[in-house]
Structure 1
Amino acid sequence: MKRQNLSILFLAAAMAFASCRKSDNNDNGELPAKTPESISGDITTSKTLTSDRTWILDGTVFVRSGSILTVEPGTVIRAKQGTKAALIIDKGAKIIADGTAAKPIVFTSGKDAGSRAPGDWGGIILVGRATTNRTTAVPVEGGVALTYGTDKIDDDNSGTLRYVRIEYAGIGVNDSEINALTFYAVGNKTIVENVQTVYANDDAFEFFGGTVNCKNLVAFGTADDDFDFDFGFNGSVQFAVAIRDPKFVDAADDGNGIECDNDKDGTNASPITQPKLSNITIVGPNNAANTSARHAYGNRWRRGTKFIFNNSILLGAQKGGLNIESDKAANFYKNGDSQFKNNIVASYGVPFLTNATASVLTAAEMQAKVLVDGGVAFVDGNTSVKLTSPFSLTAPDFLPAVGSPALSGTWVATTGASAVTYRGAFGNTDWTKGWTNWDAQNTKY
């Protein structure tokens, strides 16, 4: 009899304990998130940001050489308001932000849903040791007290960014704006895949030299350029999409899908900038209502750059699709040092433009060469291109519909790219599903 009573008492206690634990859980039966925790200053020993709490980026945070910052899948990092927050991965340091499609890692504004704006914080800066075409050290932009540019370690490794969103970045720490994600001489052992920027106040992705190779990039609502290359960048990007908000652009500068220079003076500094790009879809505003005047070109190759841009789509660019500026850049294209092959050009403005000397390259010669190299050009916007819903800012669908020319053409081999049977960033699978966010303004974090 006593043993039975003890059993009953033990069972009652266990049930009471379970009930107590359940009352502390959230609706999913999980323990509630822990109190937010701030990170600030220098990180000089390896640190992990866990997904059981929100992390607050308090001012400029530097991950210093020899240290690794690990970020668990599903982690949210918010910028502290009023601190011009930014995350900088220094030479010799690494970030391991390896999310998943189901649990992306989010870097975002510290403001509440409904009140966020481009430039609420700085952004993420990776500083590496790969080759540039600089002969002396160059200051990192945005007022960050670091330099880069003279190392030659092309297989340098700054870590991993995979299934990551960067939202509402773009304020400068001390002077000019920071891009959402900036690569300074980043090496080719660095992994960058499935990264989305949302309403960056400067460029979405900018590459200053280096050899990093990227896949599955998304630029949404960028103020300035979606992809910017400079200072001898010779890495690659395959599968990337950019969609612009017609009403939002940098009022002081043209907003382009791609802008590319060898350097600001168009010198012959070596290595000459030459991004290797394949399966890119650039979606401009297509003269939608209230389109801002500074929306410009799908491709803007200028100041002595080389380029490889193949198997891609330029759709709805406001002022023109393919624009080659400077005699040097035009000669590189004319002589075959640069490539623009197997592409679809369907800009709102003039499809082909150049301000090179007429004896070097005219727009008519550009168009003829594009067509010989497997390209097609349309003047009816998306009617002939037949992407499903590329201009939507709330639920874009970039997949080609039946009969789209994106599903035809002959794929051109490109350095760093895997062969596929379609033009543009998408075939029959939407790789943006599940981890991107087209309504970050109203998402509660």
Structure 2
Amino acid sequence: MVKHLKNAGLVAMVAAAALTVSSCKKDQNNDGSGNFNRSLSAGFSNPTQSIPVNTDGVIQDNFDGNATDNIINLTSSKVWLIDGVSYVPSGKTLKIPAGTILSSGVDKNYTGTQTNPDTGLPETVTKPIHGVLVVVKGAKIDAVGTEALPIVFTSPAAPGSRVAADFGGIILLGSAQTNKPTTTVIEGLPTPPAGVDVSYGGSTTADNSGTLKYVRIEYPGFKLFADNEINGLTLGGVGSGTTLDHIQVTYSADDSFEFFGGTVNATYLVAAGGDDDDFDFDFGYTGSIQYAVGLKAINSTHSTSSGSSDANGIESDNDKTGSAATPRTKPTLKNFTILGTNANNTALKLGNRWRRNSGLDIQNSVIAGFPAGVIYEGGASGTYTNNILHAFAAAGGSVTPDNTGASANAYLKLGSALPTSFYAGPTAANYTTYSYSPDVLIPQATSPVGTRGAIAAGTAAGTTWLKTWTEFNAQKKVY
């Protein structure tokens, strides 16, 4: 996440009984790196094996019986461990079959320089990083799960002791257009070894970084140094030839999804319980996303900027200075359901924050449960069409809410239409896959009928596109 006023430090704590998710950027003494005993088999029923890498962390293509086909084949009969930062090299495809579980393996220490937040002076810091998968430009990932057998990237800890930042995250890098130089390196990573390119961007609109389909990413995120963080799924200059479909990110220690430029399109995305923004757009992203759900958790910690909440449903910048650099960031977003909390929670900020000269096009969506709703800042402008907006205050936003009731769902009437159905309490068990379908009698279902939000009005419980493959109670899940 590109933040330049954010406090340093990041930690996430999950209480097993209450399933209380916490990932905090406010504690300068705990950076979220874990520092607890990691049994490489903890929580897993299948045997574990580290994905083979060389001394530079480059994944090797010589262990699957065919070193010349440029395909690195994994099997679903093992839990594959990602040691430190592991790179899929250019020209290779990492193929992950349906039902495969992947996790963090052996932590690796990386040394770098950051500015001490107390003294303002540079300091050398060594930190362990665990489980970051990087697909560099020219490489591909072929991770095709199914509704019944999704592919899961998750914490290595046993059920009941999983925390945000247990798994570092997934980074895809491509050669599609951004508004930054093509030498720009992706944030969140240490200086790569010689010969490993972690830059992104180019001129190939239809660049193909592979496929992520029916994939879950659980407990990801990592703060390397100040203003230098890894998200659940990070996409840098990823092109429209890439397929992103049915992807869930839960309990991320930073953003759930962040798009740094690129033209990639996506469908059926879920962001739940993350610390920072559910969806973040920067550096000239111009793709389209349709059908997405963003959910905040009451007891997650949330990112701050200058002491105030900075946790939004959507955040979008053209770049960090708000320049007129082209292409201008302008995502096209359709059928989103972005939910904060049922009662006002000042740990959250905005349902949509369009700022720093960002463009926008958001249509047919439901945004509710945030202290303030939709705001345009610093020259942001675009199209806001046929959406339903609830906020707990009318002031402070560029778009006037349709409703400012003290109970968000008394207006929305999602799921069972009870006032507390969309988020009843602090536990993951209160996320239910049918609770985001609006009642057929409420505003989302009219003008035109049934088109607003991620799930059609009146959809029966158990039949939504969230069924089977998603998991909102990952703390207790046995793999």
TM-score (norm 2): 0.75
1:400 counterpart residue number: 438
Among 381, 384, 387, the residue aligned to 1:343: 387
- Structure 1: how far apart are the matches of 2:375 and 2:440? 30
Q: Per the alignment, do residues 384 and 282 of structure 1 end up closer, same or farther by CA in structure 2, a change over 3 Å counting?
A: same
Distance 1:48 1:150 in 2: 27
Tell me, in whole angstroms, the C-alpha distance in 2 between the residues paired with 1:402 and 1:174.
48
Other-structure match for 1:391:
423
Q: Distance in 2 between matches of 1:156 and 1:50?
A: 27
SS at match of 1:139: coil
The AA in structure 2 aligned to 1:381 is A
Change (3 A) 1:113 1:193: same
> What is the aligned length?
375
Q: Which one of 176, 179, 184 corresponds to residue 133 of structure 1?
A: 179
Residue 123 of structure 1: aligned partner: 169
Name which structure has the greater RCO, CA cutoff 8 Å, separation 6+: 2
Q: How do 1:257-268 and structure 2 match up within 5 A?
A: 257-268=313-324
Q: Does 1:438 align with 2:467?
A: no
1:378 Cα shift? 4.9
Give per-residue Cα distances to partners, 1:274-310, cap 9 Å, x unaligned.
000010000102336xx4x431100000000110011
Which of 428, 434, 454 aligns to 1:425? It is 454
Give the match for residue 47 of structure 2.
Answer: 35
SS at match of 2:222: coil
Bigger Cα Rg: 1
Distance 1:42-1:82 versus aligned 2 partners, 3 A rule? closer
Which residue of structure 1 lines up, in the alignment, with residue 239 of structure 2? 187
Identify which of 214, 218, 221 aligns with 1:170: 221
CA distance in 2, matches of 1:149, 1:49: 26
User: Identity over aligned residues, as a percent?
Assistant: 41
State the secondary structure of the residue aligned to 1:107. strand
What 5-or-longer segments of structure 1 have no aligned partner? 1-31, 333-337, 355-362, 371-375, 412-420
Q: How far does residue 147 in structure 1 lie from its aligned partner after superposition? A: 4.0
SS of residue matched to 1:43 = coil
Q: Cα deviation per residue 1:141-194 (whole Å; 9 max; x = unaligned)?
A: 112434434411010000000000000011145663200000000000100011
Q: Could you tell me how far 1:341 is from its partner in structure 2? A: 0.8
Higher helix share: 1
Aligned match for 1:410, one of 426, 448, 453:
448
Cα distance change on mapping 1:377 and 1:251 into 2, 3 Å: closer
In the other structure, the counterpart of 2:154 is 108
1:274-285 mapped onto 2 (5 Å cutoff): 274-285=330-341
1:399 partner SS: coil
* Greater shift in the superposed pair: 137-146 or 298-307: 137-146
**Cα 1:270–1:37, aligned 2, differ >3 Å: closer, same or farther?**
same
3-state SS of 1:217 partner: strand
CA spacing shift, 1:296–1:38, aligned 2, 3 Å: same
1:228 aligned counterpart, secondary structure: strand
Find the aligned partners of 1:96 and 1:320 in 2 and give their Cα distance.
Answer: 40
Query: Map of 1:4-403 to 2, 5 A cutoff?
Result: 35-39=47-51, 40=53, 41-45=57-61, 46-80=71-105, 82-83=107-108, 84=129, 85-144=131-190, 145=192, 146-172=197-223, 176-253=228-305, 254-287=310-343, 291=345, 293-317=346-370, 319-326=371-378, 328-329=379-380, 332=381, 338-350=382-394, 353-354=396-397, 363=398, 366-367=399-400, 376-379=402-405, 380-388=407-415, 389-392=421-424, 393-394=428-429, 395-396=431-432, 397-403=435-441
- After the TM superposition, which segments of 4 or more aligned residues of structure 1 sit over 6 Å from their partners? none
Q: Distance in 1 between matches of 2:137 and 2:60?
A: 12
Deviation at residue 54 of structure 1 after TM alignment? 1.1
SS in 2 for 1:126: strand
Gaps of 5+ in 2: 1-43, 62-70, 109-128, 416-420
Tell me if structure 1 keeps the 8 A contact 2:353–2:375.
Answer: yes
User: TM-score normalised to the size of structure 1?
Assistant: 0.80
Q: Deviations over 1:196-235 (max 9, x none)?
A: 0010000000000000000100001010000000000000
**2 CA distance for matches of 1:33 and 1:121?**
18
C-alpha change, 1:102 and 1:120, in structure 2 (3 Å) is: same
Q: Deviations over 1:232-288 (max 9, x none)?
A: 000011000011112213343411000000000000001110000010000102336
